[in-house]
Amino acid sequence: MIIKNPIETTFYNFLFRGSGLFFGFITSIVIARLLGPEKLGEYSLAFWILTIVGYFVNLGLPTTVTKYISEYSGKKDYVSAGNILRNCSRWVFWAGILVTLLLFFTSPIIAGLYHKPYLSLYLRIGALGMIPMGLLAIYMAGFSGFLRYDLIAFLTFILSPLTFLLLLLALVLKKDVEYLFWVSFISNLLGAFLYYEFYHSKKYPYVKEGLPSELKSKLINYSQSIFVILLLEAFLWERFELLFLGAYSNESQVAFYNLGFNLANKVILLLPGALTGVLLPIMSEAYGGGEKERLMNIHYNSTRYLALIAFPLCAGGIFLAPRIITSIYGAEYLPSALIFAIVLLAGTVGSVSTASSSFLYSVERQKVILRFYILAVLLKLTLNLFLTRKYQAIGAVWVNFSAQVFFGVGVIVYVYAFFLKRKFPLIPALKIGLTSFIMGFVVYLLSSFLPGVFGLIVCILLGVILYPIILA
């Protein structure tokens, strides 16, 4: 069994995320420009509902698979690792059948609650993709647990461009939201098939036996707590405001919010995400091997590295927000610029806090994260009732900002207060923050002399060059 070293793993994770985000980014531009704000709002609301429903298929099992396959790999017990994957994939399959049937038959009721008849058809098509989506997530989690991000990157290079071409074909032939969901179904089905075949062709362990009662109990207990956490996490990170925005406003407001939110997430997930994506399996491996000092060092160093990457992305994105939105998506989406900037700022705090949340997951203190999520979601619910109803998309984004910052700062403070033997690297973080601000401000001043898309690209490249010079 080949397990990659941290540098190699991070590199391949960057390739995997980078290729997926690149094609996702190009796809979002094509969809936004060809559909327009109103149709994009329809697509965004239905897609968000399907995303939330998907959590009831996965049931926290992909995270469980990654954590325990990493842990048992650290113990060189590959038979148990294969047994975990096989049984968890079966649980996801049966959950997928139940969720598919429930969503298919209740979609008209959901459409009626929102007073949006088009939702019924979109949700029924989306329901058909629930089982392949769940199985795809499980096998991807299995490869993550074995730290085989090179294989995930390879399969992503196949699936992402193919999905993009299918979406482009569907939009060119007929600009209808319905066909986008058919493409998602085909993509998930093909992805699940490829991951299944690839896993077995590489002869990874897949033990056709029942789980030992102790291990089964451990998996169920862990996945139950993870499911609750991930559901709360979805409410915190996955545009929970759309639940209210879809009811209180029109489709254009939904589109402006969703576009700005998604673009900011793509920026944060690209470089910082390449590191955060490997933290849980690497920390779990250290924890499973009893290397507590190494575990604390991984956490401390990853916090600094995340700040080093996320802060300049945040500063540059905020200063160039209007240029980025109008150059990429068109002037009709200018209201998304402020939303993009605010979500980017909140996402930076969340990105840095990922080191602390991954630490808590790896040492099986997920109940601590659960408490912070409950408090953050309650804050979101309260603020949504006042801000989103009155200020629509702008109110929704400030609700999101408040909850994300509350959670991120809370988790960081907790880990450093109760687990680590050292202080938070505040001085380095302030230095990085000041450097990022100066870089962003200089690029903003230069941007007035560099119009157009080409000028925007030059500004971004100048920022990349200026940042390490100023930091030094």
Residues 40 and 32: their CA atoms lie apart, in Å, by 6
Q: For residue 255, how many C-alpha atoms fall within 13 Å in the half-sphere facing its CB? A: 23
- Report whether pLDDT(2) > 50: no
Using DSSP, state whether 212 is helix, strand or coil. Answer: coil
CB of 383 closer than 8 Å to CB of 406 = no
Q: Is 409 left (phi over 0), alpha (psi -120 to 50) or beta?
A: alpha
Q: Give me the phi and psi of 334, to 5 degrees please.
A: -55, -35
- DSSP string computed for 390-424: HHHHHHHHHHHHHHHHHHHHHHHHHHHHHT-SS--
Whose tokens are 């491996």? That residue is 285
CB of 253 closer than 8 Å to CB of 393 = yes
Give residue-wise pLDDT tens across range 100-117. Answer: 999 999 999 998 888 888
Q: Which residues of 403-416 are buried (b: 16+ CB within 10 A; e: fewer)?
A: bbbbbbbbbbebbb
- Report whether pLDDT(3) > 60: no
Residues 222 and 57: their CA atoms lie apart, in Å, by 16
- DSSP string computed for 242-255: HHHHHHHS-HHHHH
What are 101's two structure tokens?
A: 């049937």
What are 338's two structure tokens?
A: 């402020």
Lowest average pLDDT, out of 1-15, 228-242, 400-414, goes to: 1-15
Pick from 357, 273, 261, 264: which is nearest to 309 by CA? Answer: 273
pLDDT value for 11: 65
Q: Is 259 left (phi over 0), alpha (psi -120 to 50) or beta?
A: alpha
- CB neighbourhood size of 157 (10 A): 15
pLDDT value for 195: 82
pLDDT value for 59: 87
Please tell me the chain's helix, strand, coil percentages from 3-state DSSP, rounded to the nearest 5: 85, 0, 15
- Report whether pLDDT(373) > 50: yes
What are 213's two structure tokens?
A: 């009662």
Lowest average pLDDT, out of 107-116, 278-287, 320-329, 402-411, goes to: 278-287
CB of 149 closer than 8 Å to CB of 16 = yes
Q: Give the chain's radius of gyration (CA, Å).
A: 22
pLDDT value for 146: 74
